Structure 1
Amino acid sequence: MIRISAIRRTTAASLLLAAVVSLSGFAGCRPDPTPPAATERTVTTGRSVGTSDRTATDGRFTLEVKPSSSDPTTISVVVTDTQSAFDKMTDEQLEGLIEVRADAPVLGTIEKLSEREVSFSPSFPLLAGQEYLVRFLRRTEPGANRLECRYRVAAPEAAPAPTVTALYPTSTVLPANHLKFYIVFSEPMQPGEIWGYFRLDDLDNNRPVPRPFRHTELWSRDRKTLTLWFHPGRVKQGVNLNVELGAILVEGRRYRLNISGNWPSARGTPLGDDITRDFTAGPADHQQPDLAKWKVTVPAAHSSSPLVCGLGSPLDWALLHSDVRVETTAGRPVVGTIQTSNNESTWTFTPQSAWQPGRYRIAVGSVLEDLAGNSLERPFEVDVTDAKSAEPTSAGTRHREFTIQP
């Protein structure tokens, strides 16, 4: 076996002969546009023998390209003789028998497999979408045929652009002290300097809202969901940024959240189209959610009907999935799926198995909060001078019991 390299052969002629091929997707054989020398003839007869190999032959010699079944950019090139032309050929004579090139020859390894067969193997994959010329050169026999074919490596199919599959909250009216959005993508997005891809516009005044976002990236584990925060210092009354720059949202005004279509996914493909969400700022919300006020619709025994909870107002989409569950009164979890609807003001639990008669409870983490950050535990804005209001009402998990009747 010979390893051909530019170090061993410094002349241009030998570089042309030192080629190793990686190919995929045969486009067919056709004549070399450059006329052959007068002392040799070019045969470009080619035929397709399937998707995994292509050939050109002059009756005695056969030039065959075999793309790898597992990697279409990698091939081997095999020349077969009906006689025994390769039997006594030296390594030096083997060099240059096969040439593969695009703008320049590619390097690789040539190997004598038998007295009738030599192989040319790739050192590197070929470029997708590139056409290559493959030649079998019988330089030692003046006037002999030269076999050659052109092969094009298939260009990869264009990958679909990433999309925003969901954006929460879904309501078109958000409290003036709204705190955060959840943006769900179809695939992981490129992290890092992402803030240039976001803009909040005041539609009534036809201008962008200055410095609305908290510059902290909070991604889900699969990096498909981003929590986009308004800066809390702009939301809380009396805080420096709120005093200096004013509130982000003003009740009654219309706004538009813009996500730039230039934002690329982790694999480098941009969103393509800008994503927008229009909403109106409603009254500020300073009331804590109250589990006791939920309207619970209890399903029938031995059915798989959902347990439906009317929450009274929209709550945090992510926390409704992570911090609300159903269990027996003994604390054993009930397996099922969670859905939200009605702008995240309805929570639905569908059991995996039919309901059995008995006592159950809805377990809710005290961190569950509304769109303004008011949780079961405490309001978002706390008067620290008031010791009573500064203390959390309770921590841990809250429960709301219900019974499935026989």
Structure 2
Amino acid sequence: MTSTNMRAPSRAILNWLASAALLAVAPGLALAGVGLTPSGPTVAENLLRIELHLDRPLAAPLDMAHVALFDSTGTPIRDAFLDLPLPDQSGRNVTLLLHPGRIKRGVGPNLALGPALRSGQSVTLRVDDPQLDRPLEQRWLVTVPLRQRIDPQQWAVQTVRRGSLQPLRVIVPAALDGAAAAQIAVQDPEGRRMSGSATLAAGEREWRFTPARIWRPGTYLLRIHPQLEDPQGNRLCSAFEQAEQSAQLCKDEGQVAFVID
């Protein structure tokens, strides 16, 4: 692919980034037993999803009766989740959806019950499905809601040395979705996708890319899949609470240029 194809139709963009995904490895998410994202110490009040990362598929669907959120007093937060765990194709990643009706302001469940999470409180997730090797607990401090679309122009690309295999570090203002490692790729100065491995770090607030070949001088591009989201469901083209966002298809990739001298 040459640099003139940067504005190619969305199908070409998806294919280009899908091929990059085959090279993206996230060892920080492949834990023995169970891990989860968000993995950092905080979550936003409008958190939409939690992802479990398993070392093997479950024999049966995750039983949501064994999934609960507790407030700082140890009291269960009722009706926090949809009873709809969503495994991916591999069966090793399971998404837990918090009730979107409690997140979106002005709709029935939000008006009747309020948000499941409230800024300033501590909450604890507990998953004790008997299929797991051990119960999983994660505690978070709830922070203010994040209701803006993802803007890659706010990302900070750290400088790397020419002639090195130094990992490229991209710092983002807020945590990305657990799948984001495979949804960002690097285009070299000749317009080709760079081979290498990608990981998420620092509570999904940092994307790291280790190239298979040394960095050469020139202008590079981060190319960001149109379907990239954060744990609140915000996307490149719209925020989760934006009117009719669920019917809006994000077609345009994000791009961030950086230069190696």
Identify the TM-score tier after normalising by the shorter chain: 0.7 to 0.9
Tell me: CA distance 1:215–1:329, structure 2 relative to 1, closer, same or farther (3 Å): farther
User: 1:230 — aligned with what?
Assistant: 98
> Could you tell me how far 1:328 is from its partner in structure 2?
2.6
Distance 1:218 1:390, change over 3 A: closer
Q: CA deviation at 1:322?
A: 2.5
Question: Does the 8 Å CA contact 2:34/2:136 hold for their aligned counterparts?
Answer: no
Considering only aligned residues, what root-mean-square deviation do their CA atoms show, in Å? 2.4
List alignment gaps of at least 5 residues for structure 1.
1-161, 265-269
Between the aligned partners of 2:198 and 2:140, the Cα distance in structure 1 is 26
**8 Å contact from structure 1 (residues 378, 393) kept in 2:** no
For these two proteins, the number of residue pairs brought into alignment is: 231
Shift of 1:350: 0.5
1:210-240 Cα distance to aligned partner (Å, 9 max, x none): 1211222322332111111112122111222
Structure 1 residue 404: Cα displacement: 2.5
Q: Distance in 1 between matches of 2:256 and 2:189?
A: 10
Following TM superposition, where does structure 1 have runs of at least 4 consecutive aligned residues deviating by more than 4 angstroms? 389-394
2:81 is equivalent to residue 221 of structure 1: no
Distance in 2, matches of 1:192 and 1:401, equals 43
> Aligned in 2, Cα 1:259/1:330: closer, same or farther, shift over 3 Å?
same
Identity over aligned pairs, percent: 25
**Shift in CA distance, 390/187, structure 1 to aligned 2, threshold 3 Å:** closer
SS of equivalent residue, structure 1 residue 170: coil
Are the structure 2 counterparts of residues 393 and 297 from structure 1 closer, same or farther at C-alpha, using a change threshold of 3 Å?
farther
Give 1:371 deviation, angstroms. 2.7
Q: CA deviation at 1:370?
A: 2.5
Q: Is 1:199 aligned to residue 62 of structure 2?
A: no
Alignment of 1:215-294 (within 5 A): 215-260=83-128, 262-264=129-131, 270-271=132-133, 273-294=134-155
- Could you state the TM-score of these two structures normalised by the residue count of structure 1? 0.53
Normalised by the length of structure 2, the TM-score is 0.80
2:28 pairs with 1:172: no
Structure 1 residues 187 and 354 mapped into 2: Cα distance closer, same or farther (>3 Å)? same
Aligned counterparts, 1:263-342, within 5 A: 263-264=130-131, 270-271=132-133, 273-318=134-179, 320-328=180-188, 331-342=191-202
Which residue, out of 226, 231, 236, partners 1:366?
226
Partner of 1:154: none
Give CA deviations for 1:313-346 in whole Å, capped at 9, x if unaligned. Answer: 212121x223111113554211111122221111
Q: Which structure shows the higher helix fraction? A: 2
- Where 1:255 maps in the other structure, the secondary structure is strand
Q: C-alpha separation between the residues in 2 aligned to 1:278 and 1:394? A: 33
For residue 378 of structure 1, report the CA deviation from its aligned partner: 0.3
Aligned CA distance change for structure 1 residues 394 and 230 (closer, same or farther; 3 Å): closer
SS at 1:227's partner residue? strand
CA distance in 2, matches of 1:322, 1:240: 36
Largest Rg, 1 or 2: 1
Partners of 2:246 and 2:61 lie apart in 1 by 36
CA distance in 1, matches of 2:148, 2:141: 20
Q: Aligned equivalents of 2:62 and 2:207: distance in 1?
A: 35
Give the 3-state SS of the residue equivalent to 1:208 in structure 2.
Answer: coil
What does residue 353 of structure 1 align with? 213
Q: Secondary structure in 2 aligned to 1:171?
A: coil
Between the two structures, name the one with larger relative contact order (CA 8 Å, sep ≥ 6): 2
Question: Cα offset for 1:165?
Answer: 3.6
Q: Deviations over 1:298-327 (max 9, x none)?
A: 322221011111112212121x22311111
Partner AA of 2:159 in structure 1: V
Greater share of strand? 1
